[in-house]
Chains A and B, each alone.
Chain A
C-alpha cells in the first residue's frame, strides 16, 4: 500500500513518539520492578531470620513437656484421656496434626472423633528412647516434632506433632503474604499504568503526529494539486504563496512560471495564427499556381496542337514549291526552301515534345504493378537502335522490385535517360550504363553512365524545359523536363549526380510510397548485363 506524504510522516512521528514513551515506561518499570523485588527479598530474609530464631528450642521444650503429659494415658491406653490431652494442647499450641502411636509406630489416636488414621503405621525417622525430640519438616515446610513417650526407661509409644504457625509466625507470614500481595498489586498496577500510558501515548502520538504532518504536508499537497492543475492547463489555480518558508518561495516561483507560461502561450497563439494565415496564403498561392499551371498546360497544349496545322501547311507548301521549281531551281532558293523545311520539321518536333509534356499529369494512364526490371528491358528495346549505334553496354541489376506505376510513362522515363546516356558518350571510352536500386539513405532507382558528365552547377538546370547544355546536341531540350514531370507525377523526385565533366553522370529518382511493391529475389552476386 502506498502511503501519502502526510500519512507517512504521521506513521513516522507516531512510531517515534510511541517508541520513545514505551522505552521510557519500560525503563521506569524495570527499575521499579527491580527495586520492589529487592525489597521483597529483603523482607523475606528478615522474616525467615525471625521465624527460625528460638523456634527449635521452643519445639524441644514443648516435646519434653508433652512426653510427660502423655505417658500415663498412653501407658494405660486411655485413649479418651489422650484425646482430652490433645484437645487441651490444641487450645494453647498451634497444632495442626497430633498423632500418638504405640511402640510400633502404629497410630493410637489423632485426637479426633473419627480417628481416620487409627492403626496406620507412621513411617519415617523416629528418635530413640533416650534421645531428645527429633525436629522435622513436612512436605509443606511445616515444623514437625517427633518424640518418644517414655518414663524411667519404659516406652509407652511415640508422638508426632505437626505445628501450624503460631500467631507471631502467622503475623510474619501474613506480612510476607501482604508484601507479596502488595508486590503483585504493585506489579499489576504498573502493568495497567503501562498499558494505559501506552494506549494514551499511542493515541496522543497519533493525533499529534497527524496534526503535525498535516500542517507540514498540506502546503505540499496544495502544491501538488496546483502542479497537476497547471499540467492540465489551469494556470489560474490558487497557490499557497502566503507562507514565508521554502514552500512559499516555491509557490511564488510557480506563480511567476505560470505567468511566463501564460505570456508565452499568448505569443504562441499569436504566432500560430500568423502561421495559419501564412499557410492559408501559401495554399491560396499554390492553388493560384495550380490554376495557372493548368492554364499554362492548356495553353501549351492548345498552342502545340493549333500550331501543328499551319506548320503542316508550311511544310506542305514548301514541298510543293520545291517540287514546282524542279531540279533547275536556283541553288539559293533550294537552300532557302531546305531551311524552311528544316525549321518546320524542327518546330514540329518541338511542338510534339511540348504536346507530350503537357499531356503528363493531364492524361493519366491506369496504375499497374510491374517488375521494374521488365520496364527497364522494355525501354532498352525502344532505344536499342541508338544503343547499338553507340555500342553502349547496359548493365541491369537483378532483383529489382515490383512497382505500381503508370507503366507507359515510367518506360518513357527510362527511355529518355538511356537516350541521354547514349548521347553524351566520351570518345575512346566504351560507353556503359548501369541501372539499379539504391536503398540508402532512401530507396531510389539510378541510371549511371560513364559519359561526359556535367558541371555540378548545372545539375538543376538540365531539368528545365528547352535547356540544353550543348546547343549542338540532339533533341529539343524537353526530355529531362518530361522525365522530372513524370517522376513528380508519381510522388517522387529526380536529381543528377556527377563528379564533373568527363566523370560520367548518375540520374537518381525516387517514387512515392504508394508506388513500391515487393522486392524481387536478388541473385547472390553480379549483375544481369544487357549489352547493346
Chain B
C-alpha cells in the first residue's frame, strides 16, 4: 500500500467509524452525497484531521440527512496535488482551505472550483501579512528588498510565503531562492526558516534582511524580539479561509450544504463542532468586496506565477 492509498483508505476506514455518520449513506452510485476533502497538515498524524473535522461532519450529516443528502467520510489527502486530482476526478465535492490554496487549485491545478463561503476563525474573518526588518537595516519599503534576502517560513505557508511572494510580485519584485545564480539584479531572494520565531530571529541575527508573516505572528513574537524589529509594509487583507465547491456538484446539494454550514453556529452542538475544527467561529457568505479582493489576489498570484 503506497502512501496515497494509505491516506485514502485509512481515512475512509476511519470515517466509517464515525458514529455520527448515517450508515445509510454508504457509498452507493447515484445516491446524493457530499464528499469533503482536506489536506493532511502533518503527514505523520493523519488522525489529527479526523479529530478536527469529525464533529463538523457529524453535525453536517444531521442537517443534510433530512434533505436526503448523505455526508461521505472525510477524505484526507497527502498534499495539494492529490486534493486537486480528487477534485478533478469528482471524488471530492467540497474543500475548506486558505485563499491561496484555493486560488492555487483554481489557477495552477485548473480545478473547476468556486469559493462560496468565508471561514471566520477565532472571530477573525481576515488577516494580512506584514513585512518587517531589523531596525538597523534601513529598509523602509518593498523596493528596498531588491538584491536582499527575505526570510520566509516554508513553501506551504500562505501568510509567510505565498502572500509575501504575491505582494512582491504585484510590486514587480520577483523572488528567487537564496544563492540562485541566474537571478536578475532587481530580484529578491528568500530562505526558509521553518518557523515564524526563526524568521524574526534570523532577521535580528542578520541571516536575512527582512521577513514576512501573519500579523498575528507579529503580535505573538516575544517582546524583546519584536523590539529589535520594525514593520515596513502591510499587505491587503486576506480572508482566513474559504469553503469551495466543485463547479459540477449538484446545485441542490451545494445549496443545502451551504445553508447547513451557515446554520451551524446557531446551536450549541454546532458551535462545539466548529470550535473543534481548528477554532472556526462561523461561516459567512462572501461579499462583493470579498470577491473583488479575491480577484486582486488572483491577479497577484498570476503575476508571481508568471516568473
Contact = CB atoms under 8 A, between A and B. Distances in A.
Contacts of A81: 194-195
B224 A78 contact: no
B217 to A, nearest CB: 12
Contacts of A199: none
B109 interface: no
A79 B195 CA distance: 8
A80 B198 contact: yes
Given A115-B225, A116-B224, A119-B204, 19 more contacts: A77-B193, A77-B198, A77-B207, A78-B193, A79-B195, A79-B198, A80-B194, A80-B195, A80-B197, A81-B194, A113-B220, A113-B222, A114-B223, A115-B224, A117-B224, A118-B225, A119-B224, A119-B225, A119-B228
B201 interface: yes
Contacts of B228: 119
A153 B160 CA distance: 35
B195 to A, nearest CB: 4
Contacts of B36: none
A467 to B, nearest CB: 151
Contacts of A83: 197
Contacts of A116: 222-224
Interface of A: 77-81, 83, 102, 108, 113-119
B219 interface: no
B24 interface: no
A79 B197 contact: yes
Contacts of A108: 201
Interface string B176-209: 0000000000000000011101100110110100
Contacts of B207: 77
Contacts of B197: 79-80, 83
25 contacts: A77-B193, A77-B205, A77-B207, A78-B193, A78-B194, A78-B195, A79-B195, A79-B197, A79-B198, A79-B201, A80-B194, A80-B195, A81-B195, A83-B197, A102-B205, A113-B220, A114-B222, A114-B223, A115-B222, A115-B225, A116-B223, A118-B222, A118-B224, A118-B225, A119-B204
A115 B200 CA distance: 13
Nearest to B225: A118
A258 to B, nearest CB: 107
A371 B223 CA distance: 133
Interface in B198-252: 198, 201-202, 204-205, 207, 220, 222-225, 228
B104 to A, nearest CB: 26
B205 A78 contact: no
Nearest to B194: A78
Most chain A CB neighbours (cut-off 10 Å) among B195, B197, B202, B228: B197
A119 B134 CA distance: 14
A113 B224 CA distance: 11
B191 to A, nearest CB: 11
Contacts of B198: 77-80
Contacts of B201: 77, 79, 108
Nearest to B228: A119
A78 B151 CA distance: 12
A116 B228 CA distance: 13
Nearest to A118: B224
Contacts of A119: 204, 224-225, 228
Contacts of B223: 114, 116
Contacts of A80: 194-195, 197-198
A498 to B, nearest CB: 144
Nearest to B204: A119
A139 B158 CA distance: 47
A158 to B, nearest CB: 15
Contacts of B204: 119
Contacts of A79: 195, 197-198, 201
Contacts of B225: 115, 118-119
Contacts of A77: 193, 198, 201-202, 205, 207
Contacts of B222: 113-116, 118
B117 to A, nearest CB: 33
Nearest to B206: A77
Contacts of B220: 113
Interface in B230-278: none
B203 to A, nearest CB: 11
Contacts of A78: 193-195, 198
B263 to A, nearest CB: 37
A81 B224 CA distance: 19
A115 B223 CA distance: 8
A-B pairs with lowest CB-CB distance, top 10:
A80-B195, A115-B222, A118-B224, A79-B201, A80-B197, A79-B197, A79-B198, A80-B198, A114-B222, A118-B225
Contacts of A115: 222, 224-225
A81 B195 CA distance: 9
A114 B198 CA distance: 14
A108 B222 CA distance: 12
Contacts of A113: 220, 222
B221 to A, nearest CB: 9
B156 to A, nearest CB: 15
B111 to A, nearest CB: 33
A314 to B, nearest CB: 171
A117 to B, nearest CB: 8
